[in-house]
């Protein structure tokens, strides 16, 4: 059994991007990071994104509008970033405060700056296999983890647990693409799926993205399975200073002995999401600059 090291693979991608940006002449790529309010997870995600950008040589602008900002003012802020020629990528950190229509805000971001890949145009381009689009970061991080770990997906049965627009659906679209590195046979499962364990036991590769701590148990997988655990769940742990620890959607201790490869939580998919955001930002810069 091999534990797939997301930190190492993400660091490889960051190093590649750093070399690519260092070779650029003139203006460097720039990402605008918008965080509304002080949600602790959002604070740490945006900090990490800013740090990784700096490491690569990508400029970042962090915008912190107050939690009281309304829908129209937030959309106005997005409009001003859309219009700013020095900004290549825009990320609005989710979740947004209650009362704000998140989908409308994401949809407001110009498709050519939508480096998170959540706008309808980029989801459509993903479905059309149009390479000019920006695939959302966690799903493309999953693909990168699999390919850099030597997992050949062609003809394999991948079962995706979860059908969200952020992870499950775009991951399934990438896995089923008609191209080298994909060509998988994909089954998507969700909370209404009947006989779930009988389906997960058929998986050559299992992608778990449901947000249920340690939901996938050993009796739900077949020996030799490759497991990608996307879940990030906080569970109480009195032995930790923070009072909690992070676990995935997979019971790692039970499933790992059966798996051929498995991602840990933390240190699996999480670091890849940030690396792919940076890759999308460099791509946006190149496309806006005409190559």
Selected catalytic residue, list 114, 116, 204, 251: 116
Segment contacting ligand NAP (CB under 6 A): 59-67, 72-80, 123-131, 208-216? 208-216
Q: Is 204 a catalytic residue?
A: no
Residue (148 or 212) nearer to ligand NAP, CB: 212
CB distance 157 to 189 below 8 Å: no
Shortest separation between residue 99's beta carbon and ligand NAP, angstroms: 19
DSSP notation for 84-152: -TT--EEEEPSPPPTTS-HHHHHHHS-GGG-TT--SHHHHHHHHHT-TTS---HHHHHHHHHHHHTT--
CB distance 270 to 44 below 8 Å: no
The answer to the question of residue 182 lying near ligand NAP (CB under 6 A) is: no
Q: Tokens in use for 26? A: 């003139």
- 206 phi and psi angles, rounded to 5 deg: -120, 125
CB distance 99 to 68 below 8 Å: no
Q: Distance between the two ends of the chain, CA-based, in angstroms? A: 42
Give the CA dihedral 261, 266, 267, 268, nearest 10 degrees. 40
Q: Given candidates 207, 210, 228, 246, which one binds ligand NAP under the rule CB under 6 A?
A: 210
Q: Given candidates 90, 269, 276, 277, which one binds ligand NAP under the rule CB under 6 A?
A: 269
Q: Is 116 a catalytic residue?
A: yes
Segment contacting ligand NAP (CB under 6 A): 49-57, 78-86, 166-174, 220-228? 166-174
The answer to the question of residue 164 lying near ligand NAP (CB under 6 A) is: yes
DSSP notation for 202-231: T-SEEEE-S--TT-B-GGGS-TT-EEEE--
Residue (44 or 152) nearer to ligand NAP, CB: 44
The answer to the question of residue 171 lying near ligand NAP (CB under 6 A) is: no
Residue (74 or 216) nearer to ligand NAP, CB: 216
Residue with the CB atom nearest ligand NAP in the bound state: 164
The answer to the question of residue 241 lying near ligand NAP (CB under 6 A) is: no
Q: Is 114 a catalytic residue?
A: no
Shortest separation between residue 94's beta carbon and ligand NAP, angstroms: 9
25-28, long-range: CB < 8 A, 24+ apart: 27/86, 28/57, 28/58, 28/59, 28/285
Segment contacting ligand NAP (CB under 6 A): 8-16, 27-35, 56-64, 156-164? 156-164
Distance CA 227, CA 231 (A): 12
Residues 213-232 that bind ligand NAP (CB under 6 A): 230-232
Which DSSP helix (H) or strand (E) runs through 34?
strand 30-34
Shortest separation between residue 115's beta carbon and ligand NAP, angstroms: 15
CB distance 231 to 251 below 8 Å: no
The answer to the question of residue 246 lying near ligand NAP (CB under 6 A) is: no
Q: Tell me the catalytic residues.
A: 49, 93, 116
Q: Which residues bind ligand NAP (CB under 6 A)?
A: 138, 161-164, 166-168, 189-193, 196, 209-212, 230-233, 269-270, 273
């Amino acid at each position: 059994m091999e534990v797939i090291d997301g930190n190492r693979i993400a660091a490889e991608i960051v190093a590649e991007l750093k070399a690519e940006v260092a070779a650029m002449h003139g203006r460097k790529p720039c990402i605008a990071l918008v965080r509304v309010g002080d949600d602790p997870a959002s604070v740490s995600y945006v900090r990490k994104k800013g740090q990784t950008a700096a490491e690569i040589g990508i400029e970042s602008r962090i915008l912190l509008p107050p939690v009281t900002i309304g829908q129209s003012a937030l959309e106005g802020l997005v409009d001003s970033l859309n219009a700013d020629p020095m900004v290549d990528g825009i990320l609005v950190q989710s979740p947004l405060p209650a009362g704000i229509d998140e989908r409308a805000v994401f949809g407001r971001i110009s498709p050519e700056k939508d480096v998170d890949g959540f706008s309808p145009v980029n989801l459509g381009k993903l479905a059309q296999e149009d390479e000019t689009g920006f695939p959302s970061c966690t799903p493309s991080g999953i693909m990168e983890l699999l390919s850099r770990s030597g997992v050949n997906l062609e003809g394999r049965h991948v079962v995706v647990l979860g059908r969200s627009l952020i992870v499950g659906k775009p991951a399934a679209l990438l896995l089923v693409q008609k191209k080298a590195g994909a060509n998988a046979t994909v089954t998507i499962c969700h909370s209404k799926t009947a006989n779930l364990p009988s389906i997960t036991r058929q998986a050559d590769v299992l992608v778990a993205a449901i947000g249920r701590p340690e939901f996938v148990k050993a009796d739900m997988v077949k020996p030799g399975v490759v497991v990608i655990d996307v879940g990030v769940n906080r569970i109480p742990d009195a032995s930790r200073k923070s009072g909690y620890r992070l676990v995935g959607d997979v019971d790692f201790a039970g499933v790992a002995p059966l798996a051929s490869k498995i991602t840990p939580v933390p240190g699996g998919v999480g670091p890849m999401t940030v690396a792919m955001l940076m890759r999308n930002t460099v791509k946006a810069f190149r496309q806006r600059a005409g190559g």
